[in-house]
């Protein structure tokens, strides 16, 4: 009786509206309905029997009985009906209230915790700072790379996350299902790679991308991009059989002699990058020959341009190069993110023509007027060689990897080319001055944009999330040279990576949207705003990439737990029979709207960084020996820029 009274009280005093659609969608409510079903059935039978006068009405207490006796038939019917509905509503509503209250309590608790540790970075007991990049300490060993110790039940783990994702308003580190050991996590990621590979092999072999739901495929360049992007991941994961299938394709099927226009940047980072990595990892001349072949075919995009800025597109057979079909300008990120690869090609062939061509672009962009405190406008014209005036300043799409390659070009030649470091340091200062902001109410550090070069916007692409990792890498290398800058960059990178984590943790699926806006309005209580058209997730790697750098450079297991959450969410919401699919809506658990596309970078980058994140072995592709290109293909670090 007490419970009933409380429920009625809550029902009358609560400001929360009753939602009928919630009624049928919520498992708890449906469960309470099941529990109540005997009572409902009894009342229903009572009502029926009364109507047909077959069975005598059972006596309750005499007051009720007298009232009942005096009522007309119609009134009696009505009373019974109302009673039934009331009982059902009370139970349904009480379970809804308790659920909402639980969520509120969890949410408040989470916000309180967040406020407490904002900007603190990894907790002290978790951090064991590496002394130097080239002698980074290994973490406590409980796993060997590529170990095949245990068979993990992937489905059970994915279901565990569902509980967190459904009921946690945020899938935070506090709520993370972190029980799996590192070897289990690595094995889990190998399982993901196997699944993605087998779907691609079955339905899209030899084509660029798999459509894992309809079992179709598409061809962007018609080169088997997924195979090429996946090659080094398969090799690193020690998936021997799959690797042999991929190598066999490169040896016997892959030809670049195709009358097809390709995008210089995409083909460089995915195809040339992959061939170079494979050559360095295996010493197999097959890959060297392929690297030279594709390098020579891409080169006309640089050499045929009237300015030092390359054309965006080039025909692999004819060498005919041109601006994009849809506009006059190239993205600045595209013309400045081919350097690591072409320079490496010169280093291994001894032929300086590749390096000369891309160094010319870098020098031109370095000298070019139109930057704002080291920030570059996002468009550049290959005919005139100039930036488009009043273009947006961003670290997101169309500019992102310009910043990434500044620090990595400096790293690639052993810190000998200070021009890249200088530009990088200036750019980071520019980013802080013009693009960084703090959200309300929880002060997340976001990297926004200057629209048309002047108007601030708190918009942050998921693509920006590479920045935390790059700052961490730069910070470690600058520790001795510029200790204060190094510390500052580490703090900034830590804060940005925490924000990127929030972009995942604040959605119901635990997956980040493609674009996030950060709240600057005191009246609004949520830091993160996701607009309807920005809710898609393309299986992108950038946040995982940053987790990987932070794990390697700080040994903080928090980043591995964050990565594990993301892996589980990919598994739960993106896995389909044919592979993994991009989704259109990370904000709705029940309707993620699969987009039926598996990007090659999911195999090339996302799964590779996850695997490396869960590896205890810092000597697997150590960061003082290898620099990862923007597509996660590792290239060796040299001691100088000499060819």
CA geometry: angle 23, 26, 28, nearest 5 deg: 105
Number of Cβ within a 10 Å radius of residue 161: 24
Told to judge if 426 belongs to the known catalytic residues of this protein, a careful annotator would answer no
Do 534 and 514 form a contact (C-beta atoms < 8 A)? yes
CA geometry: angle 296, 302, 304, nearest 5 deg: 95
| Beta carbon of residue 538, minimum distance to ligand DMJ (angstroms, whole number) | 7
Is 630 one of the binding residues for ligand DMJ (CB under 6 A)?
Answer: yes
Told to judge if 542 belongs to the known catalytic residues of this protein, a careful annotator would answer yes
| Beta carbon of residue 397, minimum distance to ligand DMJ (angstroms, whole number) | 8
| Beta carbon of residue 615, minimum distance to ligand DMJ (angstroms, whole number) | 20
Is 540 one of the binding residues for ligand DMJ (CB under 6 A)?
Answer: yes
| Dihedral, 369, 373, 374, 378 alpha carbons, nearest 10 | -70
H helical segments located in 456-556: 466-477, 483-505, 542-554
Nearer to ligand DMJ, 91 or 379 (CB): 379
Nearer to ligand DMJ, 527 or 542 (CB): 542
Nearer to ligand DMJ, 168 or 541 (CB): 541
Q: Cα–Cα distance between 339 and 354 in angstroms, integer?
A: 9
Nearer to ligand DMJ, 527 or 605 (CB): 605
| Beta carbon of residue 235, minimum distance to ligand DMJ (angstroms, whole number) | 19
| Beta carbon of residue 159, minimum distance to ligand DMJ (angstroms, whole number) | 28
Structure tokens at 248: 């066999």
Nearer to ligand DMJ, 470 or 630 (CB): 630
Choosing from 164, 229, 242, 266, the catalytic residue is 266
Is 273 one of the binding residues for ligand DMJ (CB under 6 A)?
Answer: no
Sequence-separated (6 or more) residues with CB below 8 Å from residue 304: 311, 319, 321
Nearer to ligand DMJ, 442 or 630 (CB): 630
Do 291 and 299 form a contact (C-beta atoms < 8 A)? no
Binding mask 427-466 for ligand DMJ (x = CB under 6 A): ------------------------------------x---
Is 509 one of the binding residues for ligand DMJ (CB under 6 A)?
Answer: no
Site for ligand DMJ in 305-334 (CB under 6 A): none
| Beta carbon of residue 520, minimum distance to ligand DMJ (angstroms, whole number) | 27
Q: Cα–Cα distance between 411 and 483 in angstroms, integer?
A: 17
Nearer to ligand DMJ, 90 or 574 (CB): 574
Is 547 one of the binding residues for ligand DMJ (CB under 6 A)?
Answer: no
DSSP state of 420: H
Nearer to ligand DMJ, 26 or 219 (CB): 219
| Beta carbon of residue 590, minimum distance to ligand DMJ (angstroms, whole number) | 27
Is 536 one of the binding residues for ligand DMJ (CB under 6 A)?
Answer: no
Is 631 one of the binding residues for ligand DMJ (CB under 6 A)?
Answer: yes
Do 286 and 244 form a contact (C-beta atoms < 8 A)? no
Q: Cα–Cα distance between 81 and 601 in angstroms, integer?
A: 60
Q: Cα–Cα distance between 211 and 279 in angstroms, integer?
A: 30
Q: Cα–Cα distance between 243 and 16 in angstroms, integer?
A: 56
| Beta carbon of residue 564, minimum distance to ligand DMJ (angstroms, whole number) | 20
Q: Residues 135-159, buried b or exposed e (16+ Cβ, 10 A)?
A: ebeebeeebebbbeeeebebeebbe
Choosing from 208, 542, 571, 616, the catalytic residue is 542
| Beta carbon of residue 378, minimum distance to ligand DMJ (angstroms, whole number) | 14
Nearer to ligand DMJ, 164 or 542 (CB): 542
DSSP state of 17: P
Nearest to 135 by CA among 483, 488, 497, 480: 480
Choosing from 400, 545, 561, 605, the catalytic residue is 400
Site for ligand DMJ in 586-605 (CB under 6 A): 601, 605
Do 414 and 639 form a contact (C-beta atoms < 8 A)? yes
Query: Parallel, antiparallel, or unpaired for β 515-518 and 459-461?
Result: antiparallel
Count of residues that bind ligand DMJ according to CB under 6 A: 8
Query: Parallel, antiparallel, or unpaired for β 634-636 and 626-628?
Result: antiparallel
Is 412 one of the binding residues for ligand DMJ (CB under 6 A)?
Answer: no
Told to judge if 125 belongs to the known catalytic residues of this protein, a careful annotator would answer no
Nearer to ligand DMJ, 294 or 463 (CB): 463
- Region of 482 (left: φ > 0; alpha: ψ -120 to 50; beta: rest) is beta
- For residue 128, give the H/E element and its range: none
Is 549 one of the binding residues for ligand DMJ (CB under 6 A)?
Answer: no
| Beta carbon of residue 540, minimum distance to ligand DMJ (angstroms, whole number) | 4
Told to judge if 266 belongs to the known catalytic residues of this protein, a careful annotator would answer yes
| Beta carbon of residue 266, minimum distance to ligand DMJ (angstroms, whole number) | 7
Is 507 one of the binding residues for ligand DMJ (CB under 6 A)?
Answer: no
Is 405 one of the binding residues for ligand DMJ (CB under 6 A)?
Answer: no
H helical segments located in 118-153: none
Choosing from 261, 359, 514, 571, the catalytic residue is 514
Binding-site member from 401, 439, 556, 615 for ligand DMJ (CB under 6 A)? 401
In angstroms, what CA-CA distances link 213 with 100, 159, 494, 537? Answer: 35, 21, 37, 16
Is 514 one of the binding residues for ligand DMJ (CB under 6 A)?
Answer: no
Nearer to ligand DMJ, 7 or 496 (CB): 496
State which residue has the least CB distance to ligand DMJ.
630
In angstroms, what CA-CA distances link 157 with 167, 185, 508, 572? Answer: 16, 10, 17, 9
Structure tokens at 506: 């604040």
CA geometry: angle 344, 376, 468, nearest 5 deg: 70
β-partners of residue 321 are 314
Q: Cα–Cα distance between 333 and 394 in angstroms, integer?
A: 11
Structure tokens at 491: 């703090």
Residues known to be catalytic: 266, 400, 514, 542
Instruction: Give residues in contact with ligand DMJ (CB under 6 A).
Output: 401, 463, 540-541, 601, 605, 630-631
């Amino acid at each position: 009786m007490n419970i009933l009274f409380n429920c009625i009280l809550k029902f009358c005093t609560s400001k929360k509206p009753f939602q009928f659609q919630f009624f049928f969608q919520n498992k708890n409510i449906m469960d309470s309905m099941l529990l109540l079903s005997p009572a409902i059935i009894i009342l229903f039978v009572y009502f029926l029997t009364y109507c047909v006068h077959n069975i005598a009405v059972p006596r309750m207490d005499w007051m009720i009985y007298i009232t009942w006796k005096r009522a007309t038939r119609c009134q009696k019917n009505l009373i019974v009906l109302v009673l039934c509905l009331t009982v059902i509503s009370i139970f349904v509503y009480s379970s809804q209230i308790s659920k909402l209250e639980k969520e509120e309590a969890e949410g408040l608790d989470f916000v309180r915790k967040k406020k407490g540790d904002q900007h603190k970075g990894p907790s002290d007991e978790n951090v064991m700072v590496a002394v130097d990049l080239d002698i980074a300490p290994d973490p406590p060993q409980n796993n060997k790379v590529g170990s095949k110790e245990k068979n993990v039940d992937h489905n059970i783990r994915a279901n565990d996350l569902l509980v967190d994702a459904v009921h946690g308003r945020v899938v935070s580190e506090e709520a993370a299902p972190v029980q799996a050991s590192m070897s289990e996590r690595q094995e889990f990621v190998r399982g993901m790679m196997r699944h993605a590979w087998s779907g691609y092999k079955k339905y899209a072999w030899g084509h660029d991308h798999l459509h894992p739901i309809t079992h179709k495929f598409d061809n962007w360049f018609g080169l088997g991009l997924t195979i090429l992007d996946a090659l080094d991941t398969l090799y690193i994961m020690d998936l021997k059989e799959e690797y042999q299938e991929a190598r066999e394709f490169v040896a016997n099927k892959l030809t670049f002699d195709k009358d097809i226009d390709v995008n210089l940047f995409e083909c460089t980072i995915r195809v040339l990058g992959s061939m170079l990595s494979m050559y360095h990892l295996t010493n197999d001349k097959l890959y060297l020959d392929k690297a030279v072949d594709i390098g020579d075919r891409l080169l006309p995009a640089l050499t045929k341009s009237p300015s030092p800025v390359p054309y965006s597109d080039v025909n692999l057979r004819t060498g005919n190069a041109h601006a994009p079909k849809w506009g006059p300008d190239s993205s600045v990120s595209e013309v400045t993110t081919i350097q690591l690869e072409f320079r490496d090609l010169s280093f291994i062939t001894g032929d300086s023509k590749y390096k000369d061509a891309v160094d010319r672009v870098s020098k031109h962009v370095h000298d070019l007027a139109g930057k704002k405190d080291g920030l570059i406008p996002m468009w550049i014209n290959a005919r005139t060689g100039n930036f488009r005036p009043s273009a947006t300043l961003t670290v997101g799409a169309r500019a992102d990897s310009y910043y990434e390659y500044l620090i990595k070009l400096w790293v690639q030649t052993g810190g000998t080319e200070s021009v890249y470091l200088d530009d990088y340091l200036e750019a980071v200062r520019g980013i802080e001055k013009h693009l960084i902001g703090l959200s309300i109410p929880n002060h997340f550090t976001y990297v926004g944009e200057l629209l048309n070069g002047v108007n601030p916007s708190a918009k942050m692409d998921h693509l920006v999330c590479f920045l935390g990792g790059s700052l961490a890498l730069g910070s470690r290398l600058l520790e001795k040279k510029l200790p204060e800058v190094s510390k500052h960059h580490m703090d900034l990178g830590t804060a940005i990576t925490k924000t990127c984590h929030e972009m995942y943790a604040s959605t119901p699926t635990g997956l980040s949207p493609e674009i996030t806006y950060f709240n600057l309005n005191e009246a609004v209580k949520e830091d993160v705003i996701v607009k309807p058209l920005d809710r898609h997730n393309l299986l992108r790697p950038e946040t995982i990439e940053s987790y990987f750098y932070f794990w390697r450079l700080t040994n903080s297991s928090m980043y591995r737990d964050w990565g594990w959450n993301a892996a589980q969410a990919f598994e739960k919401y993106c896995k389909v029979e044919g592979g993994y699919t991009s989704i259109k809506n990370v904000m709705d658990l029940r309707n993620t709207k699969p987009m039926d596309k598996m990007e090659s970078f999911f195999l090339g980058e996302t799964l590779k960084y996850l695997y490396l994140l869960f590896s205890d072995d810092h000597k697997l592709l150590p960061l003082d020996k290898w620099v990862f290109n923007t597509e996660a293909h590792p290239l060796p670090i040299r001691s100088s820029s000499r060819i």
